[in-house]
């Protein structure tokens, strides 16, 4: 695979690699570093890349494994889930504070989820992967993926209900 072909194949999903890395690592800088490492690793395999059925799935798996290895190596003591904060200059201060509060609540809730549930939730609800792709990426059975997603969503609903006192009284 030549450089232009590599760019045409890999660049369309590099943002997905970054978002997955950011979901797992502590900061933008960590996610950017991880994404660059993965892109370098992919380039080092450019000669054999044509052998892979789904380069995107391969790259996502590499990203997941790289990030999890990095988390393990640092013993996850100072790393946490980070969400990007969207800022719109036209949004009122009240709405901006509410949005930031919601992001912090989601961070706390998602930090409490088991790693597998976090990954399934990220891939399905954020990255919009199909169930069969998630099964392949995470090496899980379809039933296990659906159960993990269901449990993650249920936990989030319950925690949000506690926060907002939904359904009480």
145: confidence class by pLDDT, cuts 50, 70, 90: very high
90: confidence class by pLDDT, cuts 50, 70, 90: low
Same domain, 68 and 135: no
Q: For the beta carbon of residue 25, count every other beta carbon within 10 angstroms.
A: 24
Query: CA dist 27 to 18, 19, 78, 82, Å?
Result: 11, 11, 11, 6
Mean pLDDT of 70-83: 54
| Helices H / strands E in the chain, number of each | 8, 0
Note whether residue 36 is domain-resident: yes
* 152 contacts: CB under 8 Å, gap ≥ 6: 113, 117, 118, 120, 121
Same domain, 21 and 47: yes
Give the pLDDT confidence score for residue 150 in this predicted structure.
93
**Reported pTM:** 0.53
* 91 contacts: CB under 8 Å, gap ≥ 6: 99
The burial class, CB within 10 Å (0-12 / 13-18 / 19+), for 153 is middle
47, 80, 113: which is the final residue of a domain?
Answer: 80
Same domain, 34 and 59: yes
Q: How many independent structural domains does the chain possess?
A: 2
Give the pLDDT confidence score for residue 42 in this predicted structure.
87
* 56 contacts: CB under 8 Å, gap ≥ 6: 13, 16
List pLDDT tens digits, range 31-55: 898 899 999 898 888 888 778 888 8
Query: What angle (nearest 5°) sits at the alpha carbon of residue 123, between those of residues 163 and 131?
Result: 115
Same domain, 108 and 140: yes
Extract the tokens encoding 166.
């939904």
Query: Which structural domain, as residue segments, surrounds residue 167?
Result: 96-169
Mean pLDDT of 141-165: 87
Same domain, 115 and 145: yes
Give the pLDDT confidence score for residue 169 in this predicted structure.
43
Note whether residue 89 is domain-resident: no
């Amino acid at each position: 695979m030549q450089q232009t072909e590599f760019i045409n194949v890999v660049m369309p999903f590099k943002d997905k690699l970054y978002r997955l890395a950011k979901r797992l690592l502590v900061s933008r800088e960590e996610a950017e570093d991880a994404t660059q490492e993965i892109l370098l690793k992919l380039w080092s395999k450019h000669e054999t890349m044509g052998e892979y059925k789904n380069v995107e799935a391969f790259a996502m798996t590499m990203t997941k494994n790289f990030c999890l290895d990095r988390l393990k190596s640092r013993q996850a003591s100072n790393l946490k889930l980070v969400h990007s904060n969207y800022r719109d200059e036209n949004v009122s201060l009240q709405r901006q504070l509410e949005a930031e509060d919601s992001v912090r609540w989601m961070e706390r809730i998602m930090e409490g989820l088991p790693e597998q549930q976090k990954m399934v939730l990220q891939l399905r609800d954020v990255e919009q992967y199909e169930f069969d792709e998630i099964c392949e990426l995470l090496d899980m059975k379809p039933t296990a993926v659906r159960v993990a997603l269901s449990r993650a969503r249920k936990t989030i609903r319950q925690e949000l209900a506690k926060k907002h006192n939904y359904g009480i009284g």
